[in-house]
Each structure stands twice: as C-alpha cells, then as structure tokens.
C-alpha cells in the first residue's frame, strides 16, 4: 500500500524537487560569476575562499527557496506571482548571507568567510535574472516545441487591446489547448505592425477567404471590451460570412474571479446576432409584488412556465404551486429546483380542463396570484386538432379564470401570443378568444386580470432554432416554409421576466406587449446558423423551401386593427389600447363555443370566426368558411358588425 502511494505521488513531487535542484545550481553558478565580474572578468581572487563560501551560500539559498516555496509553481505556467516569489526568495537569501557575514566578522566562527558586499549585490541580480530566464526558456520551449505537435488549429484574435492579450494568455496557458494564435486583428493604426507576445498585429482589412485559407485559420475569436452592442453584432455578422468558426469572449464581469478562462470563450450563437436589446427588469418591484404571496403557475413545466417558476423561486414568496399535465417534464423541473436548493414548492400533475380537480387545488392552497401559461401552441397541429385547441386554450383558460374569481385571487396574469393578433390559424384564434373572455370578466372587478403578448421564444419546445440545430447535425437540408417569412424573437428568460413585470404594472384589464425590435427573416436566420456551424450555404448544407403550413402567415403582428399603444414606466413595455367589445355578447358566445365544442358540434369553427371577426384562415381547410360567411343570413352579418364596432 505504501509502495503504491509512493508510486502514484512520485510524479507530483519529482518535478518540484527538480526545479529546486536547478534553482540551487543556478544560484551557485551565479555566485561564481559574481566573483568573476567583481574582479574585472578575471580569476584574480582566492579560490580557496570561494570554495568555503559557496556551500554556505547554497545552503542559505536552499533555505530561502524552501521558506518562500518559489520552486512549487508549475514552470510552464510561470506568471507574475511566481516572479514575485523568486524576488522574495533572492532578497531573503541575500539578507541572510549579509547577516552571516557580519556575524562571522564579529565572532570569527568560519575562516575565510568574508564576502564583499558588492559580490552579494551582484550575485542577487545575477541569480534573479538566471532563475527568471530559466523559467522563461523552459516555458517557451514547452509551448513552441512540445505543444507544436499538438496544434490542430490556427486562431486569429480580433482585438489587440487588453482583452485580446488576456485572451491570448488564456489560450496559451491552457495545457490541453491545441490552438496556436497566428495574429491579432485590429483597426487602430497605432497598433498595426506591432508584436505582442511574439504575435503580429495586422490590419483587419487583410481578412479575406484567401488569407484565411493561406494561414489555415480555423477560428476567429472576437475579444473587444467596452464596445457598443450594435457594433459588436455587426462585426460578428461580418465575420460569420467567412468559412471559419467565430467565437466571442464574454464581458469582463462574467469572468471567473476576474480571470478569463479558455473554457469561457464560447462559439457565437444565433441569439447573439438577433437585432434586439435585452429587457431590463426592476427586480425590486417584482420582489415587493411577490413577497408573501401564494402563487399558482399553470403549464409550469413548459418552456415559459418553467422559467417563470425558476425566477419566482428566487423571491420571498409564501408558497409556489406548479401545475402541469406533463409528468416527465414536471419531474425534471422538480429535481432541478431541489438540486438548486429550492424546496418551498408543490408540484401537481393535473389537467386545467378538470374543473372539479382544479377547484380542489384552489380550495386547498388558496392562491393569491395565478400565472396561466398552460396552452397548446403548435400552429399546424392545432389546425388539425381544433377540438383540443379550443378545449385547452379557451375552455381550460375559462376554467382557471372562473376559479380565480370564485376564490378571490388578487392577480391573474395570462400568457398570450402575437399570433392572437389578426389570427390566421386556430391556435391564434383560441388565444384571442381567451384574451376576450378575460377582458369580459374584468368588468366584474373581482380579480385583476392582466395579459401579456410576445413573439417567438428562442429555444422553446418546437421553436425554429432547435429544429435548425437538429437539421444541421443531420447534415441538412434546413427547411423554411417561405423565403420571405419573418418572426419576432425573444429569449425565454426575457419572456418570463415580462410576465413578472406585467404582474407588477398591471391594475387589471391591460394587455402588455414588448417592443421586440425588428422582425427576423427566417431564411437569413437559417443561413447564419449554417455559417455559425463553420459550414457553407449551399455547398455544405442547403435550405429547402417547403411552403406555408396550414394556418401560417408570412408576417406576425403585435397590434390588431383598431388597437393602439400607451407607454409605461418601462420604455420597452407598452399597454395595448384595445377596441371596445360588447362584453355580455362576447361572454355568451364563448360559453356557446365551449358547449358546442364539448358536443363536437359542426358549427364550432364558424362560431369562432363570429367571435373573432378578424380571424381569416390562411392556407387551411377552414378558408372555405370565410367565403361562406359572406353568403350567410343578414343576422350573421349583423353579429359580425356588432363585434367589429
């Protein structure tokens, strides 16, 4: 057992004892050289004195090295701290040597041990230079010779400032790194042509496919701090045009303990190229709103619902009830919350359409706030399964809304979608009907009902970006329904933050929308994702146009006809000023819709189009209903006019 321990730990200690031996040897050589320099580069000194003094100097130096631990550092990673330790060791050795000389001069313990003070000073300088030089030489040999055989890719660093230099150090100091920095790129004329860490700074204008292929560049790392977000995005967009991987260094505040690690340099994601500014939430107000609240989240295991739960879990609430019918997803969320130290929550497997069961949960837990995120959201699926879409998105929402009023819930926040605006599909129409029902019950002033609308959520289940990633992994092609189709995007955390902020702002009856910047062309999104993968379009991966799916439209909207917006205290969040509705008739028609759907009545879809006059189907079998509505009785036309007024 002892033998195995010694063998397994021998490599750990062998290197540092070797370093100590080399340091002691260099110190001894430096002492001899100090004598030679002191006597004008001649040997006109008493060699017998040197042979007496040298062992004592060596012993003193060894003691100083052992005390300061200067020999323990990994030589190939020598840095400023290691140099500082060497300086301390040499100073300590010199002080001890002078002290011994002075004591010996007074008491004469050792014959011929009188070292001139000049030699001690010269020896200190020589030894310090020798030890640092030895480490530098070894480090250089290691990276330039040993690691030369490991290099598998050449790298360009875009940015020759402090961040770029730290990026170089992070790459070269990583033992497992197989990268070699070929050059820095910069647009500062003062830096062009200079050499930093042995690497030339080149003008960014040299960047071309010919230059990249000639130098065999595999990666470009963007390392610029204190740069405007728009400029950084434009720079990255220009770089992804080249057939190389583009990586980006995170902001300084994200560095671990103030130091950049090579593992933090991440490949640019498509989210980094979206033309939008992240939302900034006033967390203090959210904290005040959620404090001591009993909160119920429906659809709590879904993309949006689970993120709402994660964010709520960080606040000082009283109790958190998470309801979802997806057992596996709810279990995963439960385990995640427990692992992160959150335990004050209750996961419930349940269906919001089951009114009796939901009523039991309301009676038992008495929620004071409800975040309603449960819904069916996939447009083509819901077009073919409209019964389920109405049952969950309309009837399910109606159930939770009615229970919230009956149990005197203070605030109810509904997660809607931009597809509810001038809907062209069943899913969007059901969400719009849910919005209308919420507006109608708001008139009773029992609960403050608040609605949020936003566009596509990056990375959510079934969204386009995860689909494109899977298609790229399989070698393509990427499928786009139309070359001109556009969508608005936001991240899951931002969408969830918007919902929480709406809970703070809302006083009842509002529909909040988020200023999501410019809409994104999906075809361009697909091309950028191919480029970010280091591949070429269409040579490596092609894009296939499949045609619009049932219910899908080219351009999403955030406002319907006749709707305007009002500002809030947050410049990125607006209140939709909706047109007035005949709330009694709306509520009556929605009740009729739910009953009709329950009994599979064939007039269900026609009734939906009466409730939402702006619902005009697109590329769907329900388009024929739009044509027939105009040919129906005068009563139908009259109803439609009432809803449009």
Residue 642 token pair: 């009432």
Residue 33 token pair: 């050289």
Segment (H or E) for 90: helix 80-107
Contact between 369 and 290 (Cβ < 8 Å): yes
Residue 437 token pair: 């029902």
3-state secondary structure of 138: helix
Contact between 395 and 599 (Cβ < 8 Å): no
Contacts of 31 (CB under 8 A, 6+ apart): 53, 54, 57, 58, 119, 123, 127
Placement of tokens 């439960």 in the chain? 334
CA distance 100 to 114: 9
| Residue 536 annotated among the catalytic residues of the structure | no
Segment (H or E) for 576: strand 573-577
* Range list of H helices, 219-326: 229-239, 283-290, 303-312
Contact between 279 and 572 (Cβ < 8 Å): yes
Q: What is the radius of gyration, based on Cα positions, of the chain?
A: 36
Count Cβ atoms below 10 Å from residue 396 Cβ, excluding itself.
26
Annotated active-site residue in 245, 377, 398, 419: 419
- Dihedral, 124, 125, 128, 133 alpha carbons, nearest 10: -150
- Give me the count of residues in the chain: 645
**Residues that are catalytic:** 419
């Amino acid at each position: 057992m002892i033998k195995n321990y010694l063998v397994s730990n021998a490599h750990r200690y062998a290197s540092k004892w070797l370093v100590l031996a080399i340091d002691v040897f260099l110190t001894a050589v430096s002492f001899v050289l100090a004598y030679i320099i002191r006597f004008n580069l001649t040997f006109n000194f008493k060699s017998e004195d040197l042979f007496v003094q040298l062992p004592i100097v060596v012993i003193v130096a060894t003691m100083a090295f052992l005390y300061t631990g200067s020999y323990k550092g990994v030589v190939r990673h020598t840095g400023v701290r290691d140099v500082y330790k060497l300086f301390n060791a040499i100073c300590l050795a010199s002080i001890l040597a002078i002290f011994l000389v002075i004591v010996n001069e007074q008491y004469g313990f050792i014959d011929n041990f009188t070292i001139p003070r000049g030699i001690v000073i010269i020896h200190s300088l020589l030894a310090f230079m020798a030890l640092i030089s030895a480490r530098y030489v070894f480090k250089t040999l290691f990276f330039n010779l040993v690691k030369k055989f490991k290099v598998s890719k050449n790298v360009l660093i875009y940015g020759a400032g402090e961040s770029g230099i730290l990026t170089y150090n992070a790459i070269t100091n990583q033992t497992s790194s197989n990268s070699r920095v070929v050059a820095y790129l910069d647009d500062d004329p003062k830096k062009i042509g200079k050499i930093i860490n042995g690497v030339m700074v080149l003008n960014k204008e040299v960047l071309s496919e010919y230059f990249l292929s000639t130098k065999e560049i595999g990666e470009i790392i963007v390392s610029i701090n204190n740069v405007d977000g728009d400029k950084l995005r434009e720079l990255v967009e220009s770089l992804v045009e080249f057939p190389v991987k583009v990586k980006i260094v995170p902001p300084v505040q994200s560095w671990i303990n103030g130091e950049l690690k090579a593992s933090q340099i991440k490949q640019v994601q498509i989210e980094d190229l979206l033309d939008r500014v992240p939302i900034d939430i006033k967390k203090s107000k959210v904290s005040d709103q959620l404090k001591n609240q009993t909160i119920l989240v429906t659809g709590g295991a879904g993309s949006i619902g689970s993120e709402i739960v994660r964010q709520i879990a960080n606040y000082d609430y009283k109790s958190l009830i998470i309801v979802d019918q997806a057992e596996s997803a709810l279990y995963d969320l439960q385990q995640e919350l427990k692992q992160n130290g959150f335990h004050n929550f209750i996961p419930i497997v349940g269906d919001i359409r089951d009114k009796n069961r939901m009523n039991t949960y309301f009676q038992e837990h008495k929620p004071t706030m409800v975040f309603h995120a449960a819904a069916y959201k996939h447009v083509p699926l819901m077009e073919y399964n409209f019964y389920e879409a109405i049952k969950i998105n309309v009837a399910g929402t109606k159930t939770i809304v009615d229970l919230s009023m009956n149990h005197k819930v203070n605030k109810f926040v509904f997660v809607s979608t931009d597809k509810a605006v001038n809907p062209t599909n069943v899913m969007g129409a059901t969400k719009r009907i849910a919005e209308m029902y919420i507006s109608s019950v708001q008139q009773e002033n029992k609960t403050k009902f608040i609605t949020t609308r936003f566009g596509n959520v990056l990375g959510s289940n079934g969204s386009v970006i995860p689909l494109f990633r899977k298609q790229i992994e399989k070698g393509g092609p990427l499928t786009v329904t139309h070359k001109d189709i556009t969508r608005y995007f936001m991240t899951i955390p931002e969408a969830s933050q918007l919902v929480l902020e709406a809970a703070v702002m809302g006083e009842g009856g509002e529909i909040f929308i988020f200023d999501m910047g410019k809409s994104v062309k999906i075809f361009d999104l697909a091309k950028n994702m191919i480029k970010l993968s280091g591949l070429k379009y269409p040579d490596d991966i092609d894009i296939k146009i499949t045609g619009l799916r049932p219910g899908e439209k080219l351009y999403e909207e955030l406002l319907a006809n006749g709707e305007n917006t009002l500002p809030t205290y947050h410049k990125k969040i607006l209140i939709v000023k909706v047109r007035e509705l005949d709330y009694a008739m709306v509520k009556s028609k929605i009740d009729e819709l739910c009953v009709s759907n329950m009994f599979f009545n064939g007039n269900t879809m026609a009734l939906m189009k009466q409730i939402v006059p702006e619902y005009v189907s697109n590329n769907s079998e329900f388009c024929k209903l739009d044509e027939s509505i105009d040919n129906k009785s005068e009563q139908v036309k009259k109803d439609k006019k009432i809803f449009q007024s």
